[in-house]
Structure 1
Amino acid sequence: MAIATVNPATGETLKTFDALDEAAIEERLARAAEAYRHHRTTDFAERARLLERAAELLEKDTDEIARTMTTEMGKPVGAARAEAAKCAKAMRWYAANAERLLADEHPDEADVRDSGAVRALVRYRPLGPVLAVMPWNFPLWQVVRFAAPALMAGNVGLLKHASNVPQTALYLEDLFRRAGYPEGCFQTLLIGSGAVEAILRDPRVAAATLTGSEPAGRSVAAVAGDEIKKTVLELGGSDPYVVMASADVAKAAATAVTARVQNNGQSCIAAKRFIVHTDVYDDFAERFTAAMAALAVGDPLDESTDVGPLSSEQGRDDLAELVDDAVERGAVVRCGGRRPEGLDRGWFYAPTVLEGITPEMRIHQEETFGPVATLYRVADADEAVAVANDTSFGLSSNVWTRDRDEVERFVRDLEAGGVFVNGMTASHPALPFGGVKRSGYGRELAGHGIKEFCNATTVWEAD
């Protein structure tokens, strides 16, 4: 795959980049190893100072980097600015909280004595250079939510970003350099996917984190397993959005639109399957369909645009195939189901709502990465749980109900890394993020995320 900026709103190739050769990769690996030897010895105050400076610079760069993201992968420019702001917030959160999150842990004194020690504790130490294989859909946020905790823990980062967002990837390296991080603390590797295995097998690389597709996750996990190296994987999602009879239907329907089309529908945690109690199904479906059909599709640099293009022609075609397969097998198109009229250039797809979904349709099991929603009618909570869990994914979930017993039931029974009640799934620095089943393993963000790439070291002392 070419490393290039291709504007998805026009299909025009704007800039191309040469991939690093073996000598250049070796130079960067050596630089990372050297940087780690120093960075691991710095204190939290120094790490926090650098990360705060990076946040400050990012805020100043917001308009510029937002336009870059929009041009490279098509998200509406307002959403791109919001992404930059979220990254700065996460940097500041980790700068303020990392020392507390990684503080020494002291067992109960009675247990210490019982172990034969006069002093025992757990200390969190960094692992080393961490390879981050990151996707294009949130080209700043996906990286920062790894980099901020990793750098605060004393690790250093090697970024293999998606090949269609090279300018964003290079910006990130430059951002950390301008913030004052020593050379090698955070480096972007402009490489194709074929170069990842050799880098991951290099003994100087301690661990890896990947956000992306199932095939990419399997590949990285297999290599890391062979090398016995720690990995965190955040893969696909087909998140359920359950609306029960007691829900505020108007609010649930309005929120559902944002939950489905955020980032042009290209989000692992976007709600994709809308599972609605029969008593409120017709009301919800009518409200939701009308709002989806009214969305403005067009130039993502236009402030009035709600939904921009998909990131690639292949992504648009894959989405269309899922819709076409469902329709051929009996699904009903309530709105959309085609390319929007008047947008002949670029990789646009109309916001779409389908109902009458059955298990033999591909869309019932595969992830829809674009502005396409599927509706399911259910009779009760038992059926809602069954439909929600009838997927190989388990990233997050959404539940709308005013019934406390139903809340507890869904929290207990939904197979997902998160359950968001009367609201849409979102990530926040203080809350752990990740999934189960084929959505991956491990956690990002919060204290769980910063500890993923730390050595929990037992310290035991006798007289």
Structure 2
Amino acid sequence: MTLLDSAAPLRHANRFYLDGRWETPSSDSGVDVIDATTELPYLRVAAARPADMARAIAAARRAFDEGPWPRLTHEQRAEYLRAMAGGLRARSADFADIWPRESGILHELASYVGEAAARRFEFYANLASTFAFEEPATPTAGGDYGLLVREPVGVVAAIIPWNAPLPLIAAKVAPALLAGCTVVLKPAPEAPGEAYVVAEIAEAIGLPPGVLNVLTAQREASEALVRDPRVDKVTFTGSTTVGRRIAALCGERIARVTLELGGKSAAVVLDDCDLEATARAITEQGRFLSGQVCSSLTRVVVTRRHHDELVAALAANLSAIQVGDPFRPETQMGPLALGRQRDAVERYVAIGLDEGATLVTGGGRPEHLDHGWYVEPTLFAGVGNRSTIAQAEIFGPVLSVVPVADEDEAIAAANDSIYGLNASVFTGDVDRAQRVARRLRSGTVGHNAWRSDYGVAFGGFKQSGIGREGGKEGLLPYLETKFVILDGAPSGSHFA
């Protein structure tokens, strides 16, 4: 089965990548993947049943318990990561074709995703020689020599959403592999193509059997993956609703878990900022991936005396965005990924109107597009901070402008949310930006722009998740800490 009208053939879409081989599914169940621009099927992949998931978990467990992978040196594993990086670069055109079709991102932006993912693998490969996987530590309760060791957590279930598959695969799989873990990678059934390409790369570079296993699954088999006691850790990116369920299941057996969940991120617009530049910055980030970004700045908090001026500037920018085919160079925003996602966005627009917010621009479907899951960039003004559209993660190009009295009220409004993933402060004063940033309950706070940085540490406060991804912080969740206390330094120890 291949991608129809695509330069990215998948050689084994009707199989699963298990234990280093492309295996036949236990049933003929499949998933049709729909092109977001045409609303037509363009790919069908096999759908795993619980029996298939059990095979994947067994392969990963065997590779961890009996295989060579955890017993290689970090430098040896790093060479595989570098080979993966080379494969990702070689398949960049394939990723650039798949991502717009599955998720609606502009092809121009998708063309960089293979290189970005490759750099992520290389970053973790380079940590092999610099990260302190073991270090001396003085015992405090007896013993002459202590060694603090960071070892792989074990078998990892990596569950990926449909909006940005490859970046999130890289953020989870690269540190897990460097740590010495084995992985069962489960992409979203709406967007499995990039994970299959990653599996083909793993096969091509000779990654040892069972180290990376890839299969697509619906809810029943996915829940079997989370529940299985042979899985030591679950790392999930997706909605807070699903994250709560995964956390509950992991809690039943004290499995390790990292959750990167939803957001309703605030742009805190202070009185001394350049309102025109602020409007341009907020508009630019709002059209990225058609607003299907958990860290998008969808809640704009501004003082009442500047509310109308900022709304006018935002409306002018949003109404000028060219919505259309993500493969056309003139397009500035593509479709939403799914029909049900567009339906959800339209429901929120109706709720916003019912609750008394002012619809300034957008709110409907572009008249010039008769197919594809498109929606107009949408702006609401005069939004109450406790209203539905100010509190719910809409996951589309919908901005809500919330008027407040002053800086203190702006900070309080920004923090008045179950989420705490991202925020930005717009001000011409760097010191003021830092002071406000420290008062915001958010995993990332940017200055005068939307900033989401997987290169250092990305994650959220409150119900936006547990743990961090990216950078050295993103390696720690795949490691267990062990303290070895000895009566003397072992022979050959470079700490002796």
**TM-score normalised to structure 1 length:** 0.94
Q: Which moved more, 1:402-411 or 1:167-176?
A: 402-411
> What residue number does 2:479 align with?
454
Shift of 1:22: 4.1
Q: Which moved more, 1:166-175 or 1:277-286?
A: 277-286
Between the aligned partners of 1:186 and 1:281, the Cα distance in structure 2 is 51
Between the aligned partners of 1:179 and 1:249, the Cα distance in structure 2 is 51
> What residue number does 1:238 align with?
264
Shift of 1:255: 1.3
| Secondary structure of the corresponding residue to residue 298 of structure 2 | strand
Contact conserved, 1:401 with 1:421, CA < 8 A, in 2?
yes
Instruction: Read off the aligned partner of 1:67 and give its amino acid letter.
Output: D
Instruction: Read off the aligned partner of 1:349 and give its amino acid letter.
Output: V
Shift of 1:243: 1.4
Percent of matched pairs sharing the same residue: 32
Residue deviations 1:170-191 (CA, integer Å, cap 9, x gap): 1121122223311221111221
Between the aligned partners of 1:22 and 1:72, the Cα distance in structure 2 is 25
Shift of 1:342: 1.5
> What residue number does 1:439 align with?
464
Residue deviations 1:276-323 (CA, integer Å, cap 9, x gap): 234543443222221111111011111221111111111101111111
> What residue number does 1:361 align with?
387
- Segments of 5+ residues of structure 1 without an aligned counterpart are none
Aligned length: 458
Q: Which moved more, 1:163-172 or 1:195-204?
A: 195-204
Runs of 4+ in 1 over 4 A off after TM superposition: none
Instruction: Read off the aligned partner of 2:326 and give its amino acid letter.
Output: P
> What residue number does 2:17 align with?
none
Report whether the alignment pairs 1:25 with 2:53.
yes
Between the aligned partners of 2:136 and 2:272, the Cα distance in structure 1 is 46
Distance 1:413 1:437, change over 3 A: same
> What residue number does 2:370 align with?
344
Instruction: Read off the aligned partner of 1:106 and give its amino acid letter.
Output: P
> What residue number does 1:288 align with?
314
> What residue number does 1:182 align with?
208
Contact conserved, 1:98 with 1:149, CA < 8 A, in 2?
no
| Secondary structure of the corresponding residue to residue 299 of structure 1 | coil
| Secondary structure of the corresponding residue to residue 20 of structure 1 | coil
| 2:436 aligned residue (391, 410, 413) | 410
Residue deviations 1:190-247 (CA, integer Å, cap 9, x gap): 2112112322332321110111112211111111111110000111000001111222
Between the aligned partners of 2:50 and 2:356, the Cα distance in structure 1 is 52
| 1:35 aligned residue (45, 57, 63) | 63
Q: Which moved more, 1:363-372 or 1:405-414?
A: 405-414
Matches within 5 A, 1:270-309: 270-309=296-335
Distance 1:352 1:127, change over 3 A: same
**TM-score normalised to structure 2 length:** 0.88
Between the aligned partners of 2:266 and 2:298, the Cα distance in structure 1 is 6
> What residue number does 1:73 align with?
103
| 1:44 aligned residue (74, 88, 94) | 74
Between the aligned partners of 1:321 and 1:345, the Cα distance in structure 2 is 19
Contact conserved, 2:377 with 2:398, CA < 8 A, in 1?
yes
> What residue number does 2:38 align with?
10
| 1:258 aligned residue (271, 279, 284) | 284
Contact conserved, 1:176 with 1:186, CA < 8 A, in 2?
yes
Contact conserved, 1:173 with 1:187, CA < 8 A, in 2?
yes
| 1:311 aligned residue (318, 337, 349) | 337
Between the aligned partners of 1:319 and 1:113, the Cα distance in structure 2 is 57
Between the aligned partners of 2:139 and 2:72, the Cα distance in structure 1 is 33
Residue deviations 1:139-197 (CA, integer Å, cap 9, x gap): 10111100011101111111111111122221121122223311221111221121123
Report whether the alignment pairs 1:224 with 2:266.
no
Please report the RMSD computed on the Cα atoms of aligned residues, expressed in angstroms: 1.8
> What residue number does 2:130 align with?
100
Contact conserved, 1:257 with 1:291, CA < 8 A, in 2?
yes
Residue deviations 1:363-396 (CA, integer Å, cap 9, x gap): 1211121111111222321011111112111111
Between the aligned partners of 2:277 and 2:135, the Cα distance in structure 1 is 44
Report whether the alignment pairs 1:90 with 2:120.
yes
| Secondary structure of the corresponding residue to residue 307 of structure 1 | coil
- Segments of 5+ residues of structure 2 without an aligned counterpart are 1-28, 489-496
Shift of 1:84: 2.3
Between the aligned partners of 1:390 and 1:444, the Cα distance in structure 2 is 25
> What residue number does 2:404 align with?
378
Residue deviations 1:249-284 (CA, integer Å, cap 9, x gap): 333222111222211100001111011234543443
Report whether the alignment pairs 1:157 with 2:183.
yes
Matches within 5 A, 1:378-397: 378-397=404-423
Contact conserved, 2:62 with 2:210, CA < 8 A, in 1?
yes
Flag the structure with more relative contact order, 1 or 2, with Cα contacts below 8 A and sequence separation at least 6.
1
| Secondary structure of the corresponding residue to residue 95 of structure 2 | helix
Matches within 5 A, 1:135-154: 135-154=161-180
Contact conserved, 2:81 with 2:125, CA < 8 A, in 1?
yes
Shift of 1:436: 1.3
Contact conserved, 2:188 with 2:217, CA < 8 A, in 1?
no
Distance 1:358 1:186, change over 3 A: same
Contact conserved, 1:325 with 1:361, CA < 8 A, in 2?
no
